[in-house]
Amino acid sequence: MLEYQIFFDYFPMILLGFWLTLKIVVCAIALGIPLGLILALGRRSNFILISFFATSFIELFRNTPFIIQVFLFYYVLPFYGLRLSAEYVGILALAAFGSAYFAEIIRAGIDAIPKGQLESARAIGMTDWQSMKNIILPQTVSIVLPPLTNQTLTLIKESAILSTITVHELTMTGLMVQGETFRPFEVFIMVALLYWALNETIASIMRRIEKRYSRNRKQNKIVRSKIDIIKSSGFSR
Amino acid sequence: MKFDISYIFDALPRLLEGALITLQVAILGFCFSIILATFITIVKTSFNSRIFNGFIAFYISFIRGTPLLVQIFLIYYVLPVFGLNLAPFPAGILAITLNSAAFVIEILRGGLASVPKGQFEAAKSLGISGYALWWKIILPQTFITSIPPLVNEFTMVLKATALLSVITVVELMRVSQQIYSANYHPVEVLSATFIIYFLMCFVVSRSSVFLEQRFKVKRA
pLDDT, one tens digit per residue, over A132-187 is 889 999 899 888 989 999 999 999 999 999 999 999 999 999 999 999 988 888 89
Q: What is the pLDDT of residues A71-82, one digit of tens each?
A: 999 998 888 888
- Given this model, what pLDDT does residue A182 score? 87
In this prediction, residues B104-115 reach a mean pLDDT of 93
Q: What are the chain A neighbours of B69 within 8 Å (beta carbons)?
A: 160-161, 163, 171
- Confidence category of residue B146, pLDDT binned at 50, 70, 90: very high
- Given this model, what pLDDT does residue A86 score? 92
- Given this model, what pLDDT does residue B4 score? 85
Q: What is the distance in angstroms between the Cα of A169 and the nearest Cα belonging to chain B?
A: 12
Give the A:B interface size as CB pairs under 8 Å.
124
Closest to B200 in 3D by CA, of B26, B31, B33, B28: B26
Cα–Cα distances (Å) from A65 to B1, B59, B62, in that order, read 27, 24, 22
- Given this model, what pLDDT does residue B218 score? 67
Range of A45-49, A61-65, B1-5 with top mean pLDDT: A61-65
- Given this model, what pLDDT does residue B129 score? 81
Choosing among 1.10.3720.10, 3.90.650.10, 3.30.450.150, 2.30.22.10, the CATH entry for A4-232 is 1.10.3720.10
Question: Is ipTM over 0.95?
Answer: no
A19: amino acid identity, one letter: W
DSSP B137: I
Going along chain B from its start, the domains and CATH numbers come out as 22-168 (1.10.3720.10)
Supply angle C-alpha A20, A21, A23, rounded to 5.
60
Q: What are phi and psi of A164, to 5 degrees?
A: -70, -20
| Sign of the dihedral defined by the CA atoms of residues B135, B136, B141, B146, in that order | positive
Which of B30, B69, B195 to mutate against chain A (most A CBs within 10 Å)? B69
User: Do B74 and A175 make contact, defined as CB atoms within 8 angstroms?
Assistant: no
Spatial distance between the Cα atoms of A1 and A3, rounded to a whole number of angstroms: 6
Closest to B75 in 3D by CA, of B64, B89, B61, B55: B89
- Quick check: B159 contacting A, CB < 8 Å? yes
Average pLDDT, chain B: 92
Nearest beta carbon to residue A237 from set B68, B190, B194? B68
Q: What are the chain B neighbours of A69 within 8 Å (beta carbons)?
A: 194
Q: What is the pLDDT of residues A189-228, one digit of tens each?
A: 999 999 999 999 999 999 888 887 776 655 555 555 555 5
DSSP-H helix ranges across chain B: 6-47, 50-65, 68-73, 88-113, 117-125, 130-132, 139-145, 147-160, 172-183, 186-214
Question: What residues of chain B, 59 to 118, have a C-beta less than 8 Å from chain A?
Answer: 61-62, 64-71, 73-74, 77-78, 81, 99, 103, 106-107, 110
DSSP-assigned letters across all residues of chain A: ---HHHHHHHHHHHHHHHHHHHHHHHHHHHHHHHHHHHHHHHHT-SSHHHHHHHHHHHHHHHSS-HHHHHHHHHHHHHHTT----HHHHHHHHHHHHHHHHHHHHHHHHHHHS-HHHHHHHHHTT--HHHHIIIIIHHHHHHHHHHHHHHHHHHHHHHGGGGGGGT--SHHHHHHHHHHHH--HHHHHHHHHHHHHHHHHHHHHHHHHHHHHHHHH----HHHHHHHHHHHHT----
Q: What is the distance in angstroms between the Cα of B140 and the nearest Cα belonging to chain A?
A: 21
Q: What are the chain B neighbours of A196 within 8 Å (beta carbons)?
A: 61-62, 65-66
